[in-house]
């Protein structure tokens, strides 16, 4: 049996300083701005420069330099995956936005092309913002995107490929009739009208798209109809609207089959029993509702309506925004992509010369009880796995740390199954925690003993644990069910000053009758820590900048700090090779 270190280790968790919890980020129009910056540590000569290329990711998507934000118009067309993205060609802060363009055959290795859509006409002169691709009849792709026009109004424009026989679809043409859609109508805010969805065909044979908007002060996914995808009429009702918030960015609308991880094409015939999902970006995160697309009323009808938007389900409980999904006709799956911003300061980003990455593309589907979306990294990412370590039959008692050695701890893929030996000591669940789960993760952190948990993984740790990031679970007993808390705690992730280091967290339900194992998969990629709990029921994407990563090696541990012993029937970890992501060919 492999060596498990005993309680000394957790003392180290406890000695670390406490500090003010402020430093929240606001992200209007994709610009990360730190407010109330808190200096956690005095600047010390020990803290090496953030400019180090060691923080650049090895297999998460990013261009060689400059700012990126939202993924745009993802599609699979004639054997090639296309990834477009909001890109500033002139610098590493948000601005001058055009559509960067990369292509791939496996979603992991990317060839970078020239920008596909640039600011060239009055209706996009102030920015080519987010939009979506649709494959029209006759296998003809089209992209509708938001332009910021000469008066900074938001309008919707269209482009078509110049030459569909170019396998990479390098050049895109703007027809003269742009903009196609203007922000006209009672109560419509012309500065909050953007991010059209992929088109779908309704029962009347007409195309539809939805556009995120502020209507009469509230959020709406406005519905537009067209016969030819060029001439659009606004429908007199929204696809869906809500007065729980004021504006939705980047709406995404798609169909899913409960308990089936095959994807559906919204424009194809939708099988009986299918559900629909409306995703919207707000409050610096991506939320979603599951419901049905009612063909009679041509509206989305959510299964449950929660007035308090803090309770809406999230695609990811960490640093993940403006996601967009597409149907991958090559493999018959739906894939979702999200943007993950830096959590250093704008000055840091200027110094680095780059900012923003995309999360690993994830397969996304609906669980069998039609409540929750499940996500898992596309299997192509496994082609990067190299050295493997594998351990079976570990047992973690309270305070144990298991040192995971033999792989590259900076670029790794780790899968651990935690098996609960007893649930009797689970602490009671308090529903008020759902209103501020990050607060609960701060209070019930990895160093606080619980009944069942915390147990999980510590990554990117320095030898003395002064720096570390923990991803962990705690199990609580609710009335008829168990609730699992998953946290990704960044508060000790770096000694570096001026970082945003929250303790991200979310809850998922756990049915002890059916299962006794809680799985964790974490992709570590230098400054990215992307975690999938409970087989993809809860995802947390995070950015971290440990000083140790530059000055020396980092360590990785599995741990348990709950009273109840946890078994680890299986622990597997792999070093991850560097992918060819937008590398310039000589």
Nearer to ligand DQQ, 68 or 264 (CB): 68
CB-CB contact of 155 with 144 (8 Å): no
> Which residues contribute to the site for ligand DQQ (CB under 6 A)?
29-30, 69-70, 86, 97, 129-130, 146, 194-195, 249-250, 321-322
User: What are 400's two structure tokens?
Assistant: 């144990």
Residue with tokens 């701060």: 442
Report, in Å, the least distance between residue 281 CB and ligand DQQ. Answer: 6
DSSP three-state, residue 129: strand
As measured in angstroms, the least distance from the Cβ of 170 to ligand DQQ is 22
Whole-angstrom distance, CA of residue 70 vs CA of residue 127: 13
Residue 12: in which H helix or E strand, if any? helix 8-14
Nearer to ligand DQQ, 195 or 349 (CB): 195
> Which residue among 70, 195, 408, 413 is the active-site one?
70
Q: What minimum distance in Å lies between the beta carbon of 287 and ligand DQQ?
A: 14
- CB 169, CB 161: distance < 8 Å: yes
| Between 97 and 556, CB nearer to ligand DQQ | 97
Contact 338, 359 (CB under 8 A): yes
Nearest approach, Cβ of residue 585 and ligand DQQ (Å): 28
**Shortest Cβ 298–ligand DQQ spacing (Å):** 24
Q: Between residues 70 and 400, which has the closer beta carbon with respect to ligand DQQ?
A: 70
Closest listed residue to residue 337, CA positions, set 313, 354, 316, 368: 316
Which lies closer to ligand DQQ via its Cβ, residue 284 or residue 563?
284
Measured from the CB atom, is 30 or 179 closer to ligand DQQ? Answer: 30
SS3 443: helix
Coil, strand or helix: which one is 353?
coil
In the complex, what is the shortest distance from the CB of residue 349 to ligand DQQ, in angstroms, rounded to a whole number? Answer: 15
Residue nearest ligand DQQ by beta-carbon distance:
129
70: annotated active-site residue: yes
In angstroms, the CA 300 to CA 570 distance is 42
What single string gives the DSSP state of each residue in 381-403? GGGGEEEEEEEEEEEE-TTEEEE
Q: Are strands 482-489 and 469-477 parallel, antiparallel or unpaired?
A: antiparallel
The 3-class SS string of 25-88 reads: EECHHHCCEECCCCCCCCCCCCCCCCCCHHHCCCCCECCCCEEEEEEEEEEEECCEEEEEEEEE
Active site positions, annotated: 70
């Amino acid at each position: 049996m492999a060596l498990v270190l005993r309680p000394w280790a957790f003392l180290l968790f406890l000695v670390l300083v406490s500090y003010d919890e402020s430093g929240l980020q606001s992200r209007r129009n994709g610009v990360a701005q730190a407010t109330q910056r808190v200096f956690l540590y005095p600047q010390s000569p020990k803290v090496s420069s953030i400019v180090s290329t060691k923080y650049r990711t090895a297999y998460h998507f990013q261009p060689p330099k400059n700012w990126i934000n939202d993924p745009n118009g993802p599609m699979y067309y004639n054997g090639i995956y296309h990834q477009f993205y909001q890109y500033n060609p002139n610098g590493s802060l948000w601005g001058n936005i055009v559509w960067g363009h990369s292509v791939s055959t496996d979603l992991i290795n990317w060839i970078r092309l020239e920008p596909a859509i640039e600011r060239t006409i009055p209706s996009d002169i102030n920015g080519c913002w987010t939009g979506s691709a649709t494959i029209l009849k006759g296998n003809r792709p089209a992209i509708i995107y938001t332009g910021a026009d000469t008066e900074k109004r938001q309008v919707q424009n269209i482009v078509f490929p110049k030459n569909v026989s170019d396998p990479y679809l390098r050049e895109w043409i703007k027809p003269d009739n742009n903009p196609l859609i203007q922000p006209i109508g009672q109560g419509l805010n012309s500065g909050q009208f953007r991010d059209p969805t992929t088109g779908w065909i309704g029962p009347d044979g007409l195309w539809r798209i939805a556009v995120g908007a502020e209507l009469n002060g509230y959020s709406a996914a406005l519905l537009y109809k067209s016969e030819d995808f060029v001439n659009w009429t606004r429908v007199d009702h929204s696809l869906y609207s809500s007065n729980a918030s004021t504006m939705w960015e980047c709406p995404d609308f798609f169909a899913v089959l409960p308990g089936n991880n095959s994807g559906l094409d919204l424009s194809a015939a939708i099988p009986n029993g299918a559900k629909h999902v409306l995703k919207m970006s707000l409050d610096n995160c991506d939320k979603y509702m599951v419901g049905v697309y009612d063909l009679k009323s041509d509206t989305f009808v959510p299964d449950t309506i929660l007035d308090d938007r803090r309770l809406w389900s999230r695609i990811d409980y960490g640093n993940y925004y403006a996601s967009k999904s597409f149907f991958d006709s090559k493999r018959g799956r739906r894939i979702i992509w999200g943007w993950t911003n830096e959590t250093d300061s704008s000055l840091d980003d200027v110094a680095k010369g780059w900012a923003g990455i995309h999360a690993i593309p994830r397969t996304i589907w609906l669980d069998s009880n039609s409540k929750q979306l499940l996500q898992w990294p596309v299997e192509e990412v496994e082609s990067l796995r190299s050295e493997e370590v594998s351990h079976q039959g570990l047992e973690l008692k309270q305070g144990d740390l298991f040192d995971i050695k033999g792989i590259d701890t900076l670029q790794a893929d780790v899968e651990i199954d935690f098996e609960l030996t007893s649930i009797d000591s689970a602490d009671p669940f308090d529903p008020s925690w759902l209103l501020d789960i990050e607060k609960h993760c701060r209070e019930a952190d990895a160093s606080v003993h619980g009944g069942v948990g915390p147990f999980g993984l510590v990554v990117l740790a320095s030898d003395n644990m002064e720096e570390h990031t923990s991803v962990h679970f705690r199990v609580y007993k609710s009335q008829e069910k168990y609730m699992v808390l998953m946290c990704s705690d960044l508060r000790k992730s770096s000694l570096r000053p001026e970082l945003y280091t929250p303790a991200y967290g979310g809850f998922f339900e756990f049915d002890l009758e059916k299962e006794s194992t809680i799985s964790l998969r974490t992709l570590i990629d230098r400054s990215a820590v992307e975690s999938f709990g409970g087989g993809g029921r809860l995802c947390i994407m995070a950015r971290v900048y440990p000083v140790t990563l530059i000055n020396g090696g980092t360590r990785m541990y599995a741990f348990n700090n709950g009273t109840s012993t946890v078994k680890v029937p299986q622990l597997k970890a792999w070093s991850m090779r560097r992918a060819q992501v937008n590398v310039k060919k000589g």
